[in-house]
Amino acid sequence: MLTAMPTASPPPSSQARPAPRDRGDACPGTLRLHAADDGALARIRIPGGVLTTRQAEALGCAARRLGDGDVHLTSRGNVQLRGLRAGCGAELAEVLDTAGLLPSWDHERVRNVVASPLSGLDGVGRQDVRPWLTALDTVLCANEAATELSGRFLFALDDGRGDVSGLGADVTVRAIEDGGAWLTPGAVRVAAGDAARAALAAAEAFLEAARSHGTKAWRVSELALSDEEMAHLVRRRLAAERIDHQEHPEPTGVTGGPRLGLVGDALSVHVPLGRLTPHQWEALTQVAGIEMRLTPWRGVVVPTPDLTAELAAASLDRLAAAGLVTEPGSAWLRVGACIGRPGCAKAHRDVRADAARTLDAGNSAGPSLYWSGCERRCGRPHGEHIDIIATPGGGYQLSATAPGQNTRTLSVGDPSRIRAALAAITS
């Protein structure tokens, strides 16, 4: 039975500022494992999602030897290893350290950086953000105060195409037409060569604001400050760091994730529900010549500058045969899910199985869907989508919010009626 619920406003998280925190975040990392129902969980920060082939092999090896074998992609282009056996933390840290994935143990949870995955590969962006990425990771790991950032604080480096600008990062730097970089919070232009230092200065301004307000805010949006007040603090910090800056209007235009297939000098694939089996991970590492880039849209971009069109097509065929999505139009592109049962104790259902069942039932067009095992909605995407949230009784609640519109919700007691509910809530 479908039950319409009268609601009149967007969910709190999309509109109001959350209540101030009174504790530090418990976000898992590589050195701080989280005890999940399917074993320990490690979240490994991969700035920009960039992995050398050797690092990718080390991760795959660690997943097989210590965990459930799979490599799980997050909505920030990071990696989670799940099902880790008890007491393996030191061994895991050693493997990752040897592979160069732990450049600063003190900063391992704060290296949350997303970057335009196709930057420098398809000729679309205004500039290659790789130098920004390298510089930001370097200054971040050298900054003692940055260890106070929460594991949820996010930097975004956009090459001007507007892809990662739409991910709601705490600090965004975006390449602009005149060769400079636009920084927010702050709403200022800085020189491209100052982009990394300016991003760090904005993060430091956030930390100062949090300290002076006596709050343990994890994200900029949690500070009780207006955009103008935050911009003022950032500009003051930039001035103190002697970083030239000028007020500048926000660049317009936001796009989504990379196209799939052969895109410029890269292969681009999507990973259904972000879970890569050992076979899929091995196929990717074998196709990747030097590096791969994990995307915040649960995809992988493999730079292939020297590949002929024939070899690129053969590589895509191989990745498709492994179960990765290589062509646009797949229903998987608009479906995401948290881990659900059996991995999470809070989950009311195996949401991944339900998502796959609904997809198999022919639901191949429509809005983006995000399935959650409970009302916490971990990892749900930014932007317009329908939340499908498992409820204690074994059913689901659907919640659709569009910009400028009221939230619409529907309750579904019988999960087999999800398709009908989706049709009803989008009609």
Radius of gyration of the chain (CA): 21
Residue closest to ligand SF4 (Cβ): 373
CB of 296 to ligand SF4, least distance (A): 18
Tokens standing for residue 419: 């398709």
CB of 32 vs ligand SF4, minimal distance in Å = 17
**Nearest CB to ligand SF4, comparing residues 165 and 409:** 409
Taking the complex as a whole, the smallest distance from the CB of residue 239 to ligand SF4 amounts, in Å, to: 41
> 180 or 395: whose CB is closer to ligand SF4?
395
**Residue 382: CB minimum distance to ligand SF4, A:** 16
Write the CB contacts of 277 (distance below 8 Å, at least 6 apart in sequence): 69, 70, 323
Within 10 angstroms of residue 141's Cβ, the number of other Cβ atoms is 18
Q: How far is the CB of 371 from ligand SF4 (least distance, A)?
A: 9
Nearer to ligand SF4, 74 or 119 (CB): 74
End-to-end CA distance of the chain: 17
Q: Nearer Cβ to ligand SF4, position 82 or 377?
A: 377
Among residues 333, 340, 403, the alpha carbon closest in space to that of 368 is found at 333
Write down the least CB distance from residue 29 to ligand SF4, Å. Answer: 17
Which residues neighbour 303 within 8 Å (Cβ) at sequence distance 6 or greater?
121, 265, 266, 288, 289, 290, 291, 292, 293
Question: Judging by beta carbons within 10 Å of its beta carbon (0-12, 13-18, 19+), is residue 124 exposed, middle or buried?
Answer: middle
Q: What 3-state DSSP class applies to 423?
A: helix
Do residues 275 and 70 lie in contact, with contact meaning Cβ atoms separated by under 8 Å? yes
Q: Which is nearer to ligand SF4, 152 or 232 (CB)?
A: 152
As measured in angstroms, the least distance from the Cβ of 377 to ligand SF4 is: 5
| Contact residues: ligand SF4, CB under 6 A | 338-340, 344, 346-347, 372-374, 376-378
Q: What's the rounded Cα separation, in Å, for the pair 391 and 369?
A: 16
Question: For 157, what's the count of Cα atoms within 13 Å in the CB-facing half-sphere?
Answer: 33
Nearer to ligand SF4, 64 or 346 (CB): 346
Q: C-alpha 427: how far from its chain's center?
A: 30
CB atoms within 10 A of CB 379: 17
Complex with ligand SF4: residue 275 or 377, whichever CB lies closer: 377
Give the nearer residue to ligand SF4 in terms of CB position, either 329 or 392: 392
**Considering the complex, what minimum distance in angstroms separates the CB of residue 422 from ligand SF4?**
19
Sign of CA dihedral 293, 358, 5, 342: negative
